[in-house]
């Protein structure tokens, strides 16, 4: 049993090392047990995403062509997730990892199921007409991951005030992702930017229009508008860091700084933002992680104080 648990943990660590170098760097600040669970939850989230997208650790097979999400894949993920939550034996390492985390933390079933609703949007080829439509998608594929990570870090499952700020950070991350991957997503037939905003910029909300070089300046203007929206969620998430145990606060503040910097890269590159994938150099990541630690130094010291009023932002469904 111990050997199997070690194997599951090793596979989870491999998944995060290959799938998200930014979070892998920040997670070094966690205490060992918390890091184990954070890696395990990430491994399950990545596995589910890969099943839907036909990828391996976030990378597609270039020779396989575009993958069409299948309802059967979603059904498999949902049924296996419910079985894991019920304590049934798991054979897939990612689900073994998820089961350990869910049972150890008393994770409410609604949260992992909310993540699967995000993948359902891709299966259904959902269209995003308004900003609220895009934000709803961002919550289901990333905001709820922030909620689950916060629970792993010790936030009570009924502390909605803090969990809302964790959701805000996940939404900010996903808005940043959307801006970074506009062209990559369009190449596989997906448009996550609000269709209303694209029309206002003179661009049809279709993959072919986003891929048209003549529209690149207009698309970049919508990306800038979306990054401004992301900044609102980054700012809202900041006070929530102070509700975390000190080392977890350091780690989250570090990840927040590193990921937000991707938006800076997109802004700086202008219409060439998608010539190559926007990244932050390792040296800058380390510097930003250090700055994040300084910013998170007040973590836990204000745990029993009220958070400042949350801005007028999209809010996750009431629990």
Residues 262-294 have pLDDT tens digits of: 999 999 999 999 998 876 656 655 555 555 555
Instruction: Report the percentage of the chain scoring pLDDT > 70.
Output: 78
> What is the per-residue pLDDT for 200?
98
Average pLDDT over all residues of the chain: 86
Q: 3: pLDDT confidence band, cut at 50, 70 and 90?
A: very low
Residues 138-149 have pLDDT tens digits of: 999 999 999 999
Q: For the residues 220-230, what does the mean pLDDT come to? A: 98
Q: Could you tell me the fold of the domain covering 1-107?
A: Farnesyl Diphosphate Synthase (1.10.600)
- Among 34-48, 93-107, 219-233, 282-296, the range scoring the smallest mean pLDDT is 282-296
> What is the per-residue pLDDT for 14?
62
Position 7 pLDDT exceeds 80 = no
For the structural domain made of 127-319, what CATH number should be given? 1.10.600.10
Q: 62: pLDDT confidence band, cut at 50, 70 and 90?
A: very low
Residues 88-98 have pLDDT tens digits of: 999 999 999 99
> What is the per-residue pLDDT for 112?
98
Whole-prediction pTM = 0.88
Q: What one-character-per-residue DSSP string does the chain give?
A: -HHHHHHHHHHHHHHHHHH-HHHHHHHTTS-HHHHHHHHHHHHHHHHHHHHHHTEETTEE-TTT-PPPP-HHHHHHHHHHHHHHHTT----SHHHHHHHHHHHHHT--THHHHHHHHHHHHHHTT----SHHHHHHHHIIIIIHHHHHHHHHTT--TT-HHHHHHHHHHHHHHHHHHHHHTHHHHHHTT---S-HHHHHHTT--SSHHHHH-GGGHHHHHHHHHHHHHHHHHHHHHHGGGGGGS-HHHHHHHHHHHHHHHHHHHHHHHHGGGTTSS-----HHHHHHHHHHHHHHGGGTTTTTTSPPPPPPS---PPP-
Q: 302: pLDDT confidence band, cut at 50, 70 and 90?
A: very low
- CATH 1.10.600.10: which residues of the chain? 1-107, 127-319
> What is the per-residue pLDDT for 1?
47
Q: 64: pLDDT confidence band, cut at 50, 70 and 90?
A: very low
Residues 77-124 have pLDDT tens digits of: 999 999 999 999 999 999 999 999 999 999 999 999 999 999 999 999
Instruction: Report the percentage of the chain scoring pLDDT > 90.
Output: 65
> What is the per-residue pLDDT for 276?
86
> What is the per-residue pLDDT for 113?
98
């Amino acid at each position: 049993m111990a050997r199997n648990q070690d194997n599951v943990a090793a596979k989870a660590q491999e998944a995060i090392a290959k799938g998200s170098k930014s979070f892998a760097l920040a997670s070094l600040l966690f205490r060992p047990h918390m890091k184990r669970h954070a890696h395990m939850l990430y491994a399950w989230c990545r596995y589910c995403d890969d099943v839907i997208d036909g990828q391996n650790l976030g990378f597609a097979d270039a020779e396989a062509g575009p993958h069409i999400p299948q309802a059967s894949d979603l059904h498999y993920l949902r049924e296996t997730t419910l079985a894991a939550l019920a304590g049934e034996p798991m054979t897939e390492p990612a689900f073994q990892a998820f089961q350990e985390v869910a049972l150890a933390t008393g994770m409410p079933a609604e949260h992992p199921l909310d993540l699967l609703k995000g993948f359902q949007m891709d299966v259904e080829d959902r269209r995003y007409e308004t900003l609220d439509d895009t934000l709803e998608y961002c919550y289901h594929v990333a905001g709820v991951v922030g909620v689950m990570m916060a629970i792993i870090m010790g936030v009570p499952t009924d502390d909605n005030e803090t969990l809302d700020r964790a959701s805000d950070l996940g939404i900010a991350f996903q808005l940043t992702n959307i801006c970074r991957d506009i062209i990559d997503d369009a190449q596989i037939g997906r448009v996550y930017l609000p269709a209303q905003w694209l029309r206002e910029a003179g661009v049809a909300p279709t993959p072919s229009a986003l891929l048209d070089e003549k529209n690149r300046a207009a698309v970049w203007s919508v990306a800038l508008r979306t990054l401004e929206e992301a900044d609102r969620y980054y700012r809202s998430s900041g006070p929530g860091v102070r509700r975390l145990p000190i080392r977890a606060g350091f780690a989250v503040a570090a990840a927040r700084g590193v990921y937000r910097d991707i938006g800076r890269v997109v802004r700086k590159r202008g219409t060439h933002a998608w010539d190559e994938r926007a990244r932050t150099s390792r040296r800058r990541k380390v510097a930003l992680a250090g700055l994040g630690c300084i910013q998170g130094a007040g973590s836990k010291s204000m745990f029993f104080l009220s958070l400042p009023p949350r801005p007028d932002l999209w809010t996750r469904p009431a629990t």
